A and B are shown apart, each in its own frame.
Chain A
Amino acid sequence: MAIVTTPKKACAVNPLKMSQPIGGAFAFMGLRGAMPLLHGSQGCTSFGLTLFVRHFKEAVPLQTTAMSEVATVLGGYENVEQAIFNIYNRAKPEIIGICSTGVTETNGDDVDGYIKLIREQHPQLAKFPLVFVSTPDFKDAFQDGWEKTVACMVDVLVEAPVGAERDPARVNVLPGCHLTPGDLYELRTILEDFGLKPSFLPDLAGSLDGHIPDEFTPTTIGGIGVDEVAGMGRSSWTIAIGAQMRRAAEAMQAKTGVPFRLFERLCGLIPNDEFIAFLSDISGRPVPAKYRRQRGQLADAMLDAHFHVGGRKLAIGAEPDLLFDLSSMLHEMGAQVTAAVTTTQSPVLERIGTNEVLIGDLEDLEELAWTRNCDLLITHSHGRQAAARLKIPFYRAGFPMFDRIGAGHQLSVGYRGTRDVIFNIANLVIADREENHQPTPDSWRTSRQPLKPSRRSFIASTEESIA
């Protein structure tokens, strides 16, 4: 069981963390016809925008209240009002989602109050969906921004059901921000195979999966509609994925009485067994043959890959839920989680199968990986420099992934997703061995880092067992 520590550095070097407001804006991107708006100076938005564009290779809607120095001193009411008006008139959105930033939190703008005033003064906006989330940059991280924003959407947009009428086939799905559009599609397919009708909040698969729309639109294209969100209280169950979604699931239950089940992770054999069993239970249907087959394939993939993944010393840097998800799966495959770095607090951290989890940056991860002889690095694309210096195989996971294409479709949930992750990582390790670790007559004498006894014995023992 891991102890969570924070380093005492004054200077973060090669940040792993990204800011909270863009995590919030990201959540708004899963709503149909949405325009996320960051209440701050231009840079707050433009940096986030660039980041999303580089990751998804898609047009991304994101606006700014363009706070100037003067507005920052005098308060941002006029900027918020103008921004809402300009967006409302030009982009014709179905919803505007507003996140505060470090600037406007420092000067203490009361955006909830502003919105009230704007609604009073402009009757055409009286009913227009405006959701505000407080997300200061100087606190928490990307994942927290997502968490707060989804909870806030539930609070503001979901309607308490009138009467006790519930649709037994309808389920709500609250996915964490570590799931890709590809993951959401996979989940939708699985749920529909059980005859369930899922509503994803937010639904990034609908908006950021890279489809080509017939018309140009400045807002999100696709995603879950505000009307559908309002009706989520008539579902029979809420499925939350990732510990970060507990807050939103609880808000949903408090408001509508819909019971929830939280799946902390969906990568790995056991979590998916539980997931499929749960679906079979709530739908009253037997598990389709397809999933029996996929489960078999995953089991076989685990057998094939354990020679390569087993015994690896894993260095992993990711946001808490992704860290827990991937590291647990690899731990179960026999890898040792030797260095783990994350961005923010979370209850799952202490359950990671390692001694210590550090809330830190990529410099910390690189140092730990170096001193502890790690031979596999997993983190987002910013880790590429560290991997090059460490000369160890590098698996990209999480956000941002700007130096490879297809980030939006990388799959890790379900039996099939887990199988893919296992194959990809095992193949990386195999390729690395072929390229960099071919034995030579005197490699045993000159190698910089001799194979650690633990790893050698593990390989020896697995070789014996298959002999």
Chain B
Amino acid sequence: MSSLSATIQEIFNEPGCAKNANKSDAERKKGCTKQLQPGGAAGGCAFDGAKIALQPFTDVAHLVHGPIACEGNSWDNRGAASSGASIWRTGFTTDMNETDIVFGGEKRLYKAIKEIINKYNPPAIFVYQTCVPAMIGDDINAVCKAASQKLGKPVIPVNSPGFVGPKNLGNKLAGEALLEHVIGTQEPDYTTPYDINLIGEYNLSGELWQVKPLLDELGIRILSCISGDGKYREVASSHRARAAMMVCSKAMINVARKMEERYGIRFFEGSFYGIQDSSDSLRQIARLLVERGAPSELIEHTEVVIAREEARAWAAIEPYKPRFAGKRALLITGGVKSWSVVAALQEAGLELVGTSVKKSTKEDKERIKQLMGQDAHMIENMTPREIYTMLKNAKADIMLSGGKSQFVALKATMPWLDINQERCHAYMGYVGMVKLVEEIDRALFNPMWEQLRRPVPWDEVAKNRQKAIAQMDAQAAAVAADPETTRRAKKVCFCKEVDLGTIEDAIRSHGLTSVEAVRQHTNAFGGCCKRRIEDILAKMPASSPLAMLQAAE
């Protein structure tokens, strides 16, 4: 049994990975990804990757050896589907406590394995190593070996403490565990010349079942799917397959390549996303099987099926094309989806404004260039803020990504579609492609967007009202600023609140000369204001009402 660090070095040396093979020795030692940045990193750890890769084995008990965080925070979070067994959905963990940290958790682990076998009796148990037990030196390999011997069940150690690296490395560590402890340990009941393995296919939302009927029709048997809807016995006897398809980019390339090396199972990298890709994959499978001795009619049969399915799918997509004309999509995903989905979207008539290539390999990028042309907008590293601004300014009409970045689009009130692991629709194969187009259409043309993007009307109402008030205030201020008006507004008779202007007008228009007369023509009281009215009369030039009228005319 090799040590963890030796295994990791071996993964970094993976000759099947062109990117790694091109690096210098020193660089290769550093591994696949750049050093993670504290305070700027996102994404899962190696344990996460290992668990994701293996959990879709449905009849296996997945036991996480570690404190509650690793399983308690994460179980029951994947939408893989099972055609039968359901034990994979049960969360098992040793839930290590302080005492275990001090005295070691190996005994608890052994007991936990025993309990699971007594209570649930699964065909096998996968034991995942996490950071804390790795630090205190729990030897899960030894415990698993002892448990296997004593309890008579395969107990598989998956050595994947989170701190050794990112999710992607974890996928490969999971693959190593399968290679070392599982694959080739059992024999299938029977074999056919049409047996294939699917590697890196997780049957999310039951996607695999959209493709399986086509394979069934061609007589092709999925001997083992690693790991969607998988069974322990299938993967243990998967070494008898004739060919293999590596579905999800390079996540499990070590499994595909080492199976080729050990058992002569030729493999190719393919995808079932998009019409062309589905057809290509079916062709490749048929070709590889024929090369390994399957009757050559298989190729013709395959072409017949492809022709029929393509025609159906194109017909189903046709009505959407005019609706999608001029609509631009932004694709934020990784790995193989960065190009396989590009192809799918272009088939539906969407324009691609960009695709992220953060997790893509060199070949992935080449393919993108082929599909999108030389000026392909490949996004290496875009911050959420940049994506938000891009969407807010309507540089794209829809974003397709994984669940964690959905709010960047939604909060910019732009349509978003989940194409990652938590999605609830299956987009694989010809049927899935049509479904994807339907969903994009549904997202793009939801009448809700128009309502949500409208400005709030009461903001406008309030603004107008404020404007009106300001205008009135301004008028009042202008009035106040005129000295004549101010002079005339001066109160003369305080009891009756009669101002100077009123009194002057009365004097002028009626030619008044006495306080008494003023009293008769206005509301002035003539008590305390008697002196003030007298003053006004004295200052006013004597004028006749006639003259005033003439002047007015």
CB contact under 8 A between A50 and B72, given known A41-B163, A103-B163: no
B39 and A65 form a contact (CB under 8 A):
yes
Task: Count residues of chain A with CB under 8 A from any CB of chain B.
Answer: 66
CB contact under 8 A between A101 and B69, given known A12-B95, A14-B91, A47-B74: yes
Residues of B within 8 A of A83 (CB): 38-40
Partner of A50, one of B71, B136, B404: B404
B89 and A385 form a contact (CB under 8 A):
yes
- Asked if B67 is at the interface of the complex by the 8 Å CB criterion, the answer is yes
Name the residue of chain B whose CB is nearest to the CB of A38.
B69
A138 and B411 form a contact (CB under 8 A):
no
B45 and A43 form a contact (CB under 8 A):
yes
- Asked if A29 is at the interface of the complex by the 8 Å CB criterion, the answer is no
Name the residue of chain A whose CB is nearest to the CB of B407.
A59
Residues of B within 8 A of A69 (CB): 161, 163-164
Residues of A within 8 A of B94 (CB): 10-12
A102 and B131 form a contact (CB under 8 A):
yes
- Asked if B101 is at the interface of the complex by the 8 Å CB criterion, the answer is yes
Cα–Cα, bound, A103→B47 (Å): 13
Cα–Cα, bound, A84→B39 (Å): 7
CB contact under 8 A between A66 and B68, given known A50-B74, A103-B132, A382-B75: no
B413 and A13 form a contact (CB under 8 A):
no
Stretch at the interface among B185-193, B381-389, B522-530: B381-389
Q: How far is the CB of B386 from chain A (nearest CB, A)?
A: 9
- Asked if A305 is at the interface of the complex by the 8 Å CB criterion, the answer is no
Partner of B37, one of A46, A47, A71, A86: A86
Interface residues as binary, B110-150 with A (CB distance below 8 Å gives 1, 0 otherwise)? 11111110010000000000011001100000000000000
Cα–Cα, bound, A65→B37 (Å): 8
Partner of B72, one of A15, A46, A67: A15
Residues of A within 8 A of B101 (CB): 106, 138
A72 and B91 form a contact (CB under 8 A):
no
B95 and A15 form a contact (CB under 8 A):
yes
Cα–Cα, bound, A51→B76 (Å): 10
Q: Which of A282-328 contact B (CB under 8 A)?
A: none
B115 and A15 form a contact (CB under 8 A):
no
Instruction: Name, among A11, A15, A17, A64, the residue most crowded by chain B CB atoms within 10 Å (CB to CB).
Output: A11
- Asked if A332 is at the interface of the complex by the 8 Å CB criterion, the answer is no
Cα–Cα, bound, A53→B41 (Å): 17
Q: How far is the CB of B85 from chain A (nearest CB, A)?
A: 14
Q: Which of B414-445 contact A (CB under 8 A)?
A: 422
Name the residue of chain B whose CB is nearest to the CB of A141.
B68
A138 and B67 form a contact (CB under 8 A):
yes
Cα–Cα, bound, A216→B135 (Å): 39
Q: Which of B355-413 contact A (CB under 8 A)?
A: 384-385, 388-389, 392, 403-404, 407-408, 411-413
Interface residues as binary, A378-406 with B (CB distance below 8 Å gives 1, 0 otherwise)? 00001001000000000000000010000
Residues of A within 8 A of B48 (CB): 42-43, 46-47
Residues of B within 8 A of A72 (CB): 131, 135, 163
- Asked if A21 is at the interface of the complex by the 8 Å CB criterion, the answer is yes
- Asked if A85 is at the interface of the complex by the 8 Å CB criterion, the answer is yes
Partner of A17, one of B68, B70, B165, B389: B68
CB contact under 8 A between A106 and B403, given known A65-B38, A82-B39, A137-B69: no
Residues of A within 8 A of B37 (CB): 66, 82, 86
Cα–Cα, bound, A218→B42 (Å): 13
B163 and A216 form a contact (CB under 8 A):
no
Q: How far is the CB of A86 from chain B (nearest CB, A)?
A: 3
B116 and A11 form a contact (CB under 8 A):
yes
Interface residues as binary, B149-172 with A (CB distance below 8 Å gives 1, 0 otherwise)? 000000000000111111000000
A10 and B112 form a contact (CB under 8 A):
yes
Cα–Cα, bound, A54→B421 (Å): 13
A22 and B73 form a contact (CB under 8 A):
yes
Cα–Cα, bound, A19→B93 (Å): 13
- Asked if B43 is at the interface of the complex by the 8 Å CB criterion, the answer is yes
Interface residues as binary, A55-73 with B (CB distance below 8 Å gives 1, 0 otherwise)? 0011100011111110110
Residues of B within 8 A of A44 (CB): 45, 69, 162
B388 and A15 form a contact (CB under 8 A):
no
Interface residues as binary, B56-89 with A (CB distance below 8 Å gives 1, 0 otherwise)? 0000000100111111111111000000000001
Q: Which of B224-272 contact A (CB under 8 A)?
A: none
CB contact under 8 A between A103 and B135, given known A14-B90, A22-B73, A216-B411: yes
Instruction: Name, among B42, B43, B67, B385, the residue most crowded by chain A CB atoms within 10 Å (CB to CB).
Output: B67
B132 and A68 form a contact (CB under 8 A):
no
B97 and A43 form a contact (CB under 8 A):
no
- Asked if B534 is at the interface of the complex by the 8 Å CB criterion, the answer is no
Q: How far is the CB of B330 from chain A (nearest CB, A)?
A: 15
Instruction: Name, among B42, B46, B136, the residue most crowded by chain A CB atoms within 10 Å (CB to CB).
Output: B42
B38 and A79 form a contact (CB under 8 A):
yes
B411 and A212 form a contact (CB under 8 A):
yes
Interface residues as binary, A66-97 with B (CB distance below 8 Å gives 1, 0 otherwise)? 11110110000011101111110010000000
- Asked if B96 is at the interface of the complex by the 8 Å CB criterion, the answer is yes
A137 and B41 form a contact (CB under 8 A):
no
Residues of A within 8 A of B96 (CB): 102, 138
Name the residue of chain A whose CB is nearest to the CB of B86.
A385
- Asked if A139 is at the interface of the complex by the 8 Å CB criterion, the answer is yes
A47 and B408 form a contact (CB under 8 A):
no
Residues of B within 8 A of A87 (CB): 39-40
Partner of B100, one of A21, A50, A138: A138
- Asked if A37 is at the interface of the complex by the 8 Å CB criterion, the answer is yes
Residues of A within 8 A of B38 (CB): 64-66, 78-80, 82-83, 86
Residues of A within 8 A of B66 (CB): 102
Q: How far is the CB of A74 from chain B (nearest CB, A)?
A: 12
Residues of A within 8 A of B404 (CB): 49-50, 53
A66 and B69 form a contact (CB under 8 A):
no
Instruction: Name, among A69, A107, A141, the residue most crowded by chain B CB atoms within 10 Å (CB to CB).
Output: A69
Name the residue of chain B whose CB is nearest to the CB of A385.
B89
Subset of 14 A-B contacts with CB under 8 Å: A11-B111, A11-B115, A15-B95, A41-B163, A42-B162, A49-B404, A50-B77, A51-B73, A54-B403, A54-B422, A83-B40, A87-B40, A216-B412, A385-B89
Q: Which residues of A contact B (CB under 8 A)?
A: 9-15, 17-19, 21-22, 37, 40-44, 46-51, 53-54, 57-59, 63-69, 71-72, 78-80, 82-87, 90, 101-103, 106-107, 136-139, 141, 212-213, 216, 218, 361, 382, 385, 402
A-B pairs with lowest CB-CB distance, top 5: A43-B45, A83-B39, A11-B112, A10-B111, A86-B39
Apart from A66-B41, A103-B162, 5 more pairs, CB < 8 Å: A41-B163, A65-B39, A103-B131, A141-B68, A382-B91
